[in-house]
Chains A and B, each alone.
Chain A
Amino acid sequence: MSVIYVLLTISISVAVVFFMAFIRSVRAGQYDDAYTPSVRMLFEDELVPPGKENTKVKTEGENQNKDTNQ
């Protein structure tokens, strides 16, 4: 079963790489805030091109109505 050493080496190497990535991102403060990113991703940053405002306003209006119903 010598192949098991090959698989262990590969798997552990990948795991070590990810573990280092984990330590690095914790040190870099990636996980200091465990809430805001979940809200931030909800905002759309696409701009409305001129002339398209009507359709955009309509869809936004729909959403707002739904939100107030809840």
Chain B
Amino acid sequence: MEIEQFRYDNKIVQKFLYATMLWGVVGMLVGLLLAFMFLFPNITDGISWLSFGRLRPLHTNAVIFAFVGNAIFAGVYYSLQRLLKTRMFSDALSSINFWGWQLIIVAAALTLPLGYTTSKEYAELEWPIDLAIAVVWVVFGWNMIGTILKRRQRHLYVAVWFYLATFVTVAVLHIFNSLELPVGALKSYSVYAGVQDALVQWWYGHNAVAFFLTTPFLGLMYYFVPKAANRPVYSYRLSIVHFWSLIFIYIWAGPHHLLYSALPDWAQNLGVVFSVMLIAPSWGGMINGLLTLRGVWDKVRSDATLKFMVVAITGYGMATFEGPMLSLKNVHAIAHFSDWIIAHEHVGALARNGFLTFGMIYLLVPKMFKTTLYSKGLANFHFWIGTLGIVLYALPMYVAGFTQALMWKEFNPDGSLVYGNFLETVSQIIPMYWMRAIGGSLYILGMLIMVYNVVVTIRKGSSVEDELAEAAPHTRVTKRRLDGENFHNW
């Protein structure tokens, strides 16, 4: 068999990494501004496009679709080529994917502050941008499936399956949730109404978390954690079980966002049952990730990449334990509308998504620029200040959530509310909002340090845009060749 030589496309990965860092800083700064608006409500008075209601969707869209989205593309474009031993299917499609996605982000950053919104959470963008998202997403999937079809490696590593599920499901969710009737260039109405709209919205909203923030990051975990540790994943069999069980259960859990709402009880309960079931595959994957580090925990002591990944996997474990708990109706009765939800979701975002992305960046940048990281000390400092930031963010928000829940449900003997004025609970948790703002500042400071570290590293390295590699071509295994072969017994 002849060995073939080909070149991996590193340029596209680098571009996505730069975009990840840029939009990460922007999205988190908007978040920080929002955190300070809880403390100084009049900070942007008189500027309508800097009001809380317009910046909040900007923050969520920027960190989810711009920061995490670009990180997904960077990780997928890097690992897919290497797992399948081929260059991406089409450089043109890669380019359309990159520039199209950045244009969408810019469009979002312009329209959301100007007040153009469908008011559907995580799907606020108006119909022309929705169409663009659908097109660019399909381009991404086309490029990925084309690459899979021209691969040189027979086996599809489990990460590739996670990427495939991400593409298919996000496409379906986005298209069906965004069905809307345009009535103007930037105005549309959803085709669904009332509680039906709510159910579709949270079927989408929950699965956006599942298939945009979770499955791609599990794929990245299954690629980058073994790479960083230089150890095979603890159990490859478990990772296959993890994938197939996770995708079949995840899509049914959406109704847990509508507990105690007008949604029929049976639908709410169905959502709860599936949410509770989800803990099995989620923790299976979390344990699989952590146990991958057996025998190399001494590396974790010195290697910032692995430190980030350990906290990312732990954050995944915490968030996926909390999720099923929060979906129980009695627990949810405490958490609903309180800051507990903010804490829950930021543990997932800051620890799992953020830290895995940082770990990936610290691993990929020296690799692609053929050099070593400029400063391991700064990377370790970033890790510790970021972790401290997460703790300072999350813990006060838990306390704030419980405080709110307890105060809202405090009754006088005559049945009236003890704290009838909503402002009483707000002023009670101001100290927690201060700690949250400080925690967020630390997290962003860490991120800025990373950007500096990466820029200096890139300056002293030399970029290899088309990396030469070689592998044997993919040959079909015929039926005749397999005749008489049995399964191995172990």
Interface residues of A (CB under 8 A from B): 1-4, 6-7, 10-11, 14-15, 17-19, 22, 25, 29-35, 37-42, 44-47, 49, 52, 55-56, 59, 63, 66-67, 70
A70 CB to nearest B CB, Å: 7
Contact B251 A15 (CB under 8 A): yes
Question: How far is B451's CA from A65's CA once the two chains are assembled, in angstroms?
Answer: 30
Q: Given A17-B168, A47-B469: A3 and B232 within 8 A (CB)?
A: no
Pick the contact of B192: A3, A42, A52, A67 (CB < 8 A): A3
A38 & B236 in contact (Cβ 8 Å cutoff): yes
Identify which of A25, A52, A56, A59 contacts B156 (C-beta below 8 A). Answer: A25
Contact (Cβ within 8 A) B264 A1: yes
Q: Determine the distance from Cα of A66 to Cα of B247 in the docked complex, in whole angstroms.
A: 38
How far apart are the CA atoms of A41 and B236 in the complex, in Å? 11
Check if A18 sits within 8 Å of B8, measured CB to CB. Answer: no
Q: Complex Cα distance A25/B226, Å?
A: 24
Per-position binary interface string of chain B over residues 236-251, scored 1 when its CB falls under 8 Å from any chain A CB and 0 otherwise: 1101100010011001
Q: Once bound together, how far apart are the Cα atoms of A38 and B169, in whole Å? A: 26
Residue of B whose beta carbon sits closest to that of A41: B157
Partner of A3, one of B5, B200, B223: B200
Taking A22-B244, A41-B82, A59-B372 as known contacts, 14 extra A-B pairs with beta carbons closer than 8 A to each other, sorted by chain A number, are A1-B264, A3-B196, A4-B199, A10-B176, A14-B168, A18-B168, A41-B227, A42-B227, A42-B231, A45-B470, A47-B468, A47-B469, A66-B299, A70-B295
16 contacts between A and B (CB under 8 A): A3-B196, A6-B200, A7-B199, A7-B200, A11-B203, A11-B252, A14-B172, A34-B237, A34-B240, A35-B237, A38-B226, A38-B233, A41-B82, A42-B226, A45-B471, A59-B372
List residues of chain B with CB under 8 Å of any chain A CB: 5, 8, 82-83, 85, 155-158, 165, 168-169, 172, 176, 192, 195-196, 199-200, 203, 223, 226-227, 230-233, 236-237, 239-240, 244, 247-248, 251-252, 264, 267, 295-296, 298-299, 370-372, 464, 467-471, 477, 482, 487-488
A1 to B196, CA, bound (A): 6
Whether B168 and A55, one on each chain, are in contact in the complex, defined by CB atoms closer than 8 angstroms, is no
Q: Would A18 and B247 count as touching, CB distance under 8 A?
A: yes
Q: Which residues from A are CB-within-8-Å of B247?
A: 18
Sorted nearest first, the 9 A-B pairs with minimum C-beta distance are A38-B232, A3-B196, A38-B236, A34-B237, A47-B468, A45-B469, A39-B232, A38-B233, A46-B469
Q: Which residue of A lies closest to B462 (CB)?
A: A52
CB distance from A32 to the nearest CB of B (A): 7
A29 to B: closest C-beta gap in Å: 7
Give Cα A67–Cα B264 distance, bound, in whole angstroms: 58
Residues of A near B227 (CB, < 8 A) are 41-42
Q: Is the CB–CB distance between A47 and B199 below 8 Å?
A: no
Within the complex, what minimum Cβ distance (angstroms) separates A61 from chain B?
13
Establish whether residues B155 and A33, one from each chain, have CB atoms under 8 Å apart when the complex forms: yes
B264: which A residues are within 8 A, CB to CB?
1
A66: which B residues are within 8 A, CB to CB? 299
Instruction: Tell me, in angstroms, the Cα distance from A6 to B179 when the chains sit together.
Output: 13
In the assembly, what is the distance between CA of A59 and CA of B366, in Å? 11
Give the distance to chain B from A64, nearest Cβ to Cβ, in Å. 11
Specify which of A18, A22, A29, A42 is in contact with B482 (CB 8 Å cutoff).
A29
Complex: A43 Cα to B480 Cα, angstroms: 30
Residue of A nearest to B171 (CB): A14
| CB atoms of B223 and A41 under 8 A apart | yes
Q: Is the CB of A46 within 8 A of B8?
A: yes
Instruction: Tell me the minimal C-beta distance from A24 to chain B in angstroms.
Output: 11
Shortest C-beta distance, A2 to chain B (Å), equals: 7
Determine whether the beta carbon of A29 is less than 8 Å from that of B477: yes
> CB-CB < 8 A to A45: which residues of B?
82, 85, 469-471
Q: Chain A contacts of B298 at CB under 8 A?
A: 70
Residues of A contacting B172 with CB < 8 Å? 10, 14
- For the complex, what is the distance from the CA of A42 to the CA of B227, rounded to whole Å? 6
Contacts of B267 in A (CB 8 A): 1, 4
Are B200 and A47 in contact, with the CB atoms below 8 A?
Answer: no
The answer to whether A15 and B468 touch (CB under 8 A), given A38-B226, A55-B371, is no
Contacts of A19 in B (CB 8 A): 248
Measured between alpha carbons, how far is A63 from B366 in the docked complex, in Å?
15
Chain A residue numbers with a CB within 8 Å of B200 are: 3, 6-7
* Residues of B with C-beta under 8 A to A31: 240
Q: Is the CB of B230 within 8 A of A42?
A: yes
> Inside 8 A of A29's CB, which chain B residues have their CB?
477, 482
Decide: A30 and B156 in contact? CB cutoff 8 A: yes
Contacts of A70 in B (CB 8 A): 295-296, 298
- Chain B, residue nearest A17 (CB): B168
